[in-house]
Structure 1
Amino acid sequence: MLERLVDNRPALVLGAHPDDELGCGATINKLVESGVKVYHYYFSLCEQSLRDIGLPINQLKEECNSSRKILGIRLENCGNFEFPVRYFPSVRQDILEVLIKLKKEINPALVFTPNSNDIHQDHHCIYEETVRAFKHTSILGYELPWNTLTMNHDCLVIVNNDHMEKKLKASSCYKSQLHRNYSNTQFFESLARVRGVQANAVFAECFEVIRLFL
């Protein structure tokens, strides 16, 4: 069903930060496996956050590229921007203009973005500007529970064991984030099992339906 929604056009995954694609990592791998061209862009290298914990400022970028390869996203279909981490609301017009440019260049049938209830200022800004730029495109909001006070279970994408294996392997690329309590494979597997129970399956990922064109 998800593959038919794309209908031979690309899917675009948007994230505020390099590791946000993990919110839909298994679904990305499912789409790639089915032959869908997937693009991935994030909007900050998080250099200041890395400096704060004494790590090289390019570490997250390298970790993200490793994660992309595991999920099956071709690096020529990827990119990033260098907006200041935690200050996206102050540059939202610049972000909107970037998104409008991506829409013209890629013309995706489906866009993945943070969900509307994500309270991180950068994530919420990407959500709002995505809706503005892609208002005539189907949009699904992925789940990052540590920033989400409530989640609309509008869409559950069933994924298989291989898709989950890729997601868990991709999550292990982010060594710079191991100090965060959610940055471990057990967390991601447990969440996928909970969503799987809701979908009458073993594993699933949850999305908010923001816009849907059929």
Structure 2
Amino acid sequence: MIQLNLEAEKSRPLQILCLGCHSDDIEIGCGGSILRLAKKYPDCEFHWVVFSALGTRESEAKHAAELFVPTAQLKGPLLKSFPDGFMPYVGAEVKSVFEELKQKISPGLVFTHNRKDAHQDHRLIAELTWNTFRDHLILEYEIPKYDGDMGQPSVFVPLEMETCHKKVSFLMEAFQSQRQKRWFQPETFLSLMRLRGMECNSSSGYAEAFYCRKLVM
């Protein structure tokens, strides 16, 4: 299987931008990959942005970011208060956030939503990511949901079992407000990682998967 190694520029550490609509999106979509990258590149920097972190979800988002990324590597989190489900209707304001980000960071890697996600907020963030960061490596993560929008991703990050269980444990700890939802269960997240691990022949049997529209090697 072809492997891609991320190397930072010699003049500065690897910059990773993590974008999520809602307080648990980044952690669900790429939490395992973040844990792996933070360990493999101890001098890399994670710029963490959540567009809808309202009420208790604000404190949850902050707590989760600090669980997944060591303090020395975490930039932010930047937490916004756009209403859940309404982002396409305040698109100009959301785009302004991207314009501000563009002036502050030129990431070597961007994690964002999938452009074919069934959630309207997710699709907007994916679109604006590509409009803003046109010469960057962008990986679109997947979020399991009732709508059934799972596809065929082409980029895989194999994960050790310890990393998978740490990811799920952090999800359960950080997002107490979501625990009453029938789908927000450890089995949901472990099952998806097991499926993607099978698809990429991961030695542990587990992986996270992403959509990559454009890659220059």
What's the TM-score bracket when you normalise by the shorter of the two chains?
A: 0.7 to 0.9
Change (3 A) 1:131 1:176: same
Cα distance between partner residues in 1 of 2:36 and 2:137: 18
Q: Deviation of residue 19 (structure 1)?
A: 0.6
Checking the alignment, whether the CA contact within 8 Å between 1:96 and 1:130 is kept in structure 2 is: no
Structure 1 equivalent of residue 200 of structure 2: 199
RMSD: 1.8
Which residue of structure 2 lines up, in the alignment, with residue 18 of structure 1?
23
Report the counterpart of residue 108 of structure 2 in structure 1: 109
1:34 is aligned to 2:52:
no
Which one has the bigger helix percentage?
A: 1
Spell out the pairing of 1:134-153 with structure 2 (5 A cutoff).
134-146=133-145, 147=147, 149-153=149-153
Give the whole-Å Cα distance in 1 for the aligned partners of 2:4 and 2:45: 13
Q: Which runs of 4+ in 1 moved over 2 A?
A: 5-9, 73-77, 210-214
One-letter amino acid matched to 2:6: R
Unaligned stretches of 5+ residues in structure 2 = none
SS of the residue 2:213 aligns to: strand
Alignment check: 8 A CA contact 1:16 1:123 kept: yes
Q: 1:160-175 maps to which residues of 2 (within 5 A)?
A: 160-172=160-172, 173-175=174-176
Alignment CA distance shift 1:133-1:64 (3 Å)? same
Determine if contact 1:70/1:166 at 8 Å carries over to the other structure: no
Q: 21-30 vs 62-71, which deviates more?
A: 62-71
Cα deviation for residue 180 of structure 1 reads 1.8
TM-score (norm 2): 0.86
Return the letter of the residue paired with 1:13. Answer: C
Structure 1 residues without counterparts, runs of 5 or longer:
48-56
Cα distance between partner residues in 1 of 2:163 and 2:88: 34
| 1:23 partner letter | G
The change in CA–CA distance for 1:39 and 1:76 in structure 2 (over 3 A counts) is closer
Distance 1:131 1:6, change over 3 A: farther
Alignment of 1:124-135 (within 5 A): 124-135=123-134
With over 3 angstroms needed to count, the CA separation of the structure-2 counterparts of 1:37 and 1:90, relative to structure 1, is same
Matched residue type, 2:152: N
1:213 maps to 216
Distance 1:101 1:85 in 2: 21
Q: Kindly, what percent of the aligned residue pairs are identical? A: 30
The answer on whether the counterparts of 1:12 and 1:112 sit within 8 Å (CA) in structure 2 is yes
